[in-house]
Amino acid sequence: MSDRNHRAILEEDVFTLTDKAQNELRGSGTSLAPSALEVLVLIDGMSTVGETAARVRTIDKGAVLNILENLLYDGLIDFVKDQAGSLDFVDFFQSRGPVEPSMEATAKARKETAATTALLQQQGYFVSIARRARARKKSEATRMLSVLVVEDEPSLANLLKHVLTSEGFDVRIAQNRDEIVAEFRRPQHLDLVLLDVVLPDVDGFLVLLKIRQHPELKTLPVVMLTAKATRDAVLKGLAGGADGYITKPFEIEVLIKAVNAVLGLSEAGRAAGSNKDLWP
């Protein structure tokens, strides 16, 4: 059993059945107690421990936890990992680590945001592209590029979904902390996160820092898309490792250009032109 299996089981944990459990369930007889069997058949690789416990009617949550510990010890269940086999999103918001960007990152970001205030006053929005991917055409991609839009304003989320979908992206939406974690748990690959800052139950800057600290997600491009339009906020985002920063309210054409820039997509490779006027 690996070291990770020695840690206490949390309500947020998600388990999957092992081959041993599959064989146990397929076999004609089982040595498991009825209560253990009842818990085992509810393990689906998606539900959290809390959700699973809520579905078990015959025993209380404490007993379910004990059963899960035994099932884990017996090698019948294992913690869910992503397709790379090394992600553990249970700790996404709990892991320790620096919560402030390095001085070097802050100094670099300070340079990048020098023009923020003037641009905000001049054009009403500010766009900063801190990092661009290697130039490529969208047609080079062997699959549709995926964008996770973290946005709690339903109208904006809907608008972004339509616009980015029309640009040829696969778009997913998360409106709060649980939905963010759920999206990161999904096995499908993500190519970009558009991240709001003011969310109902979590700060977008914290999400950014957690992404940058995560071993598998740290290189995932993140563009902050937020009405936090002060120079300090822009500085915080870029110093925290955002690849771009777009202030709200934004113009759709500007947003598309920024997304393409961060992903390194060339003008010719886009599904639609960025200079067109999308307003009716």
Partner 1 sequence: MNDDELKRTIGKLQTDYAEQLPGTVAQMEDLWRRLVAAQIPPSRLADLARMAHSITGSGATFGLPEASRAARDLELFLDKLKASGELPRPAEQTTVSALLAALRQAAVPT
What's the start-to-end Cα distance of the chain, in Å?
60
Task: Scan for tokens 């709200």, then name that residue.
Answer: 248
Q: What are the C-alpha distances in Å from 228 to residues 9, 152, 246? A: 37, 14, 9
Q: Which is nearer to partner 1, 184 or 250 (CB)?
A: 250
Q: 99 phi and psi, to 5 degrees?
A: -100, 0
* Residue 220 φ/ψ region, left for φ over 0, alpha for ψ in the -120 to 50 degree band, beta for the rest: beta
Q: Which is nearer to partner 1, 136 or 276 (CB)?
A: 276
Q: Which is nearer to partner 1, 22 or 166 (CB)?
A: 166
d(CA 89, CA 152): 21
Q: CA 239, 230, 275, 154 torsion: positive or negative?
A: positive
Least distance (Å) between residue 144 CB and partner 1: 14
Least distance (Å) between residue 203 CB and partner 1: 12
CA neighbours closer than 13 Å in the CB half-sphere of residue 221: 22
Q: Which is nearer to partner 1, 197 or 209 (CB)?
A: 197
Least distance (Å) between residue 160 CB and partner 1: 10
Q: Which is nearer to partner 1, 67 or 173 (CB)?
A: 173
Interface ranges with partner 1 (CB under 8 A): 124, 152-153, 155-156, 158-159, 162-163, 165-166, 196, 198, 200, 226-227, 248-252, 272, 276, 278-280
Least distance (Å) between residue 93 CB and partner 1: 20
Least distance (Å) between residue 245 CB and partner 1: 13
